[in-house]
Structure 1
Amino acid sequence: MTFSALGLSAPLIKAIGDQNYAKPYPIQEKAIPAILQGRDILGISKTGSGKTASYALPILELFQKSKNKRDRHVRALVIVPTRELAVQVSDVFKAFCKHLPERIKTMAVYGGVSINPQMINLHNTDVLIATPGRLLDLIDNKAIHLADVEVLVLDEADKMLDLGFEEEITKILALLPAKRQNILFSATLSNNINDIQANLLNNPLTIEIVEAEHNIDLIEQVAYNVTPERKGPLLRYLIRHENMTQVLVFTSAIRVADNLVGKLLKNNIHAASLHGHLSQTARLETLQRFKAGKLRVLVASDLASRGIDIQELPVVINYELPRSPKDYVHRIGRTGRAEAPGKAITLVCPEDQHHFGIIQKKMGKKVEMRESDNIDLQGV
């Protein structure tokens, strides 16, 4: 199927061509026509499966047919859990707006930066992408109004609930008009998501892209048994020995991430950390350097990594195991995207053995285990 067959106009088709989309992803095939018809959507799909375009394109198509009537009254509201994702979604909207005859203003707002420039720049905004806390701050300052919202998108709703945003979301929903189109995307379908969608969505079309969530066949998975004291040297050895030029390393603790980056830099491996304790400016600058291939190693927490969307990221390394098997699949799913091969390496200490066994069982895939005792790490 082509994008033209989905009901999109020529300016959007041209913008899609500029982005080198060969054909629609499965979720785009199903969601775009339904959103154009005004239907509510419940989409279960992982990050990197093309879901942002699946709602951005039809929203822009619909908004070409009518104009915003009142300043500071947004027409589409996209709520996201993190600052990085807000910027990423905004970039997608802006890229698709390039050839539109009618100007549609898109803006991302989030905490961690001064609120005043955001308040000033909100004039004539049509599509607002916001984190919950900053959105409520702007509403309290009467910088934005939600009475005319036509389309509401909750993106990565599962992560918002995990982060404790349920109270903020409830406050925001109470300010929206009763008549609107609702789109809810989540990587997983939990009881909390079921509760939200039951109260939010009206006769929704449910789109579940199971293959995208669990398709890890293109990812070469290996794991190394290693003692805690050899873990850092083994990481450096693998980066050098396999000539990794762009690698995403996951840790579970911010302190571990910063210490790890310090050791990598001390050993002349260009690295930086990405986590919530950094300023927003630092996080965006670091992420941009990594995406552009100017940073060899990015050490990230699970939350901060939600804004990392690189189509052909070659390697992911689990320096520390995540809490759940689902988080493990999300992590390694950062590589092996867009039908490109990828590699996922996991470092397993003796105390991790049982947990890693559970992860493999839940994943339904046995990971090749390698011993690291015979690897010479002297001077690494």
Structure 2
Amino acid sequence: MSENIRFMNFSDLGLSSQILEAIRKANYEKPYPIQVEAIPAILQKKDVLGIAQTGSGKTASYILPILELIQKKEYNPGRSIPVLVIVPTRELAAQVEEVIRVFSEHLPRKVKSMAVFGGVSINPQMMKLHGTDILVATPGRLLDLLSKNSISISELNTLVLDEADKVLSLGFKEEIDEILSRLPKKRQNILFSATMEDPVALLIDKLLKKPLKIEIKSEEITPDLISQSAYLVSQERKGPLLRHLILEGDWNQVLVFTSSIRAADNLTAKLNKNGIQAMSFHGDKTQGGRTEALKQFKGGSLRVLVATDLAARGIDIKFLPYVVNFELPRSPKDYIHRIGRTGRAGSEGEAISLITEEDQHHWKVIQKKMKRWVEMIDSENIDF
């Protein structure tokens, strides 16, 4: 990889002024290495293979050039989807779609995006699909929609397969084969994976044509000296425990992280219902709404700000005392970004994580990566 990559700006990557303005408003400063390599290649409509861990900046590396291409080309999407992003889980589907919304909010050519996944009723999704430019889908729900003729992928321009190794490890090989059989032969293909295991290698051979290969090595993680603690808690007791900690500790200016927009809104509503002033901060909020929430939070008049990872890039507060991981992030690197919001400018800061039984393995991975073990407190011994 060229040493010059770390000195490059988004303005060096062939993006238009409209996209650059969207990047600025989303509080992105410097491009990650994967973005420096992937964005120009995707703009040239090359196939791309990215080997990179979660947290490397890969989502923006394909969303930004895809939005650029949509701005330049007159698509007339009806049932036919021009851009398809396949992901393994509903959580990732929601996060990718949030990235699209944040970057497309101020673009002159409005972009319609939608995330579809199982576990919820299919009918509302079917009703909203018409005219979608970018569809983010899990494999099973995508096939459900195709079987009902709600959409067509026969004229697809761009296919993105994100976290391909996880898609295959979750048992979606047959679904992926079925989806690929329905696609036009002439299209752009973009594939990201954390590993190059045999099933992924076979899929790469089948899917990609002379791709640009980008491999990003994971970096060592070294957190700042922030006071960290964790509470073992059941899912249903998470909300009451958080309220107890805020009230008993007389916490003010608390930044709480959730993994999805829905979780942020639900938690915010419950905090307000229980007399704790809170506002949510995510990509579904208008720019004005996010600006007002941040203004109140920075000014000290808002006690709790509940944010998603993407939106929180715009939060920079010198003396923020508390960060709470209501839900763990998907990668150790994101965890470091989250807790790094506190303990700045020589001030003390606390980072608190709420861990369920299901989270424990992932929590061990995070601690191992940052080479620091955090005390676990059993909340069963706390009366609230």
Query: Aligning the two structures, in what range does the TM-score lie when normalised by the shorter sequence?
Result: 0.5 to 0.7
Counterpart for residue 87 of structure 2: 80
Counterpart for residue 171 of structure 1: 178
| SS of structure 2 residue aligned to 1:153 | strand
Where do residues 1-380 of structure 1 align in structure 2 (5 Å cutoff)?
A: 1-68=8-75, 71-211=78-218, 214-218=220-224, 220=226, 243=251, 245-246=254-255, 309=310, 311=312, 315=323, 329=332, 332=335, 335-336=338-339, 363=369, 365-367=371-373
The amino acid across from 1:138 in the alignment is L
Q: Which structure 2 residue ranges, 5 or more long, are not aligned? A: 1-7, 233-237, 260-266, 277-283, 285-292, 316-321, 356-360
1:22, CA displacement in angstroms?
A: 1.9
Contact 1:31 1:55 in 2 (8 A): yes
Moved over 6 A (4+): 223-226, 234-239, 291-298, 316-319, 337-348
| SS of structure 2 residue aligned to 1:64 | helix
| TM-score, length basis structure 1 | 0.65
1:35, CA displacement in angstroms?
A: 0.8
How many angstroms apart in 1 are the aligned matches of 2:15 and 2:54? Answer: 23
1:116, CA displacement in angstroms?
A: 2.7
| TM-score, length basis structure 2 | 0.65
Quote the RMSD (CA, aligned, Å). 5.1
How many angstroms apart in 1 are the aligned matches of 2:65 and 2:79? Answer: 22
Identity %: 46
Contact 1:221 1:367 in 2 (8 A): no
State the Cα deviation string for residues 248-287 of structure 1 (Å, max 9, x = none).
699xxxxxxxxxx9xxx9xx898xxxxxxxxxxxxx9xxx
1:362, CA displacement in angstroms?
A: 6.4
State the Cα deviation string for residues 78-108 of structure 1 (Å, max 9, x = none).
0122223323322322333334444433222
How many angstroms apart in 2 are the aligned matches of 1:10 and 1:337? Answer: 31
The amino acid across from 2:168 in the alignment is L
The amino acid across from 2:221 in the alignment is N
| SS of structure 1 residue aligned to 2:91 | helix
CA distance 1:206–1:218, shift in 2 (3 Å) = farther
Contact 1:78 1:127 in 2 (8 A): yes
How many angstroms apart in 2 are the aligned matches of 1:70 and 1:20? Answer: 30
CA distance 1:207–1:295, shift in 2 (3 Å) = farther
How many residues end up aligned between the 2 structures? Answer: 334
The amino acid across from 1:146 in the alignment is I
State the Cα deviation string for residues 212-242 of structure 1 (Å, max 9, x = none).
5x4344475867899xxxxx9x999987559
1:183, CA displacement in angstroms?
A: 1.2
Contact 1:2 1:24 in 2 (8 A): yes
CA distance 1:220–1:183, shift in 2 (3 Å) = farther
State the Cα deviation string for residues 23-62 of structure 1 (Å, max 9, x = none).
2222221211111122222223344443222111111212
CA distance 1:242–1:199, shift in 2 (3 Å) = farther
How many angstroms apart in 2 are the aligned matches of 1:99 and 1:243? Answer: 36
The amino acid across from 1:367 in the alignment is W
State the Cα deviation string for residues 83-141 of structure 1 (Å, max 9, x = none).
23323322322333334444433222222333233323322222111121111111001
How many angstroms apart in 2 are the aligned matches of 1:235 and 1:148? Answer: 49
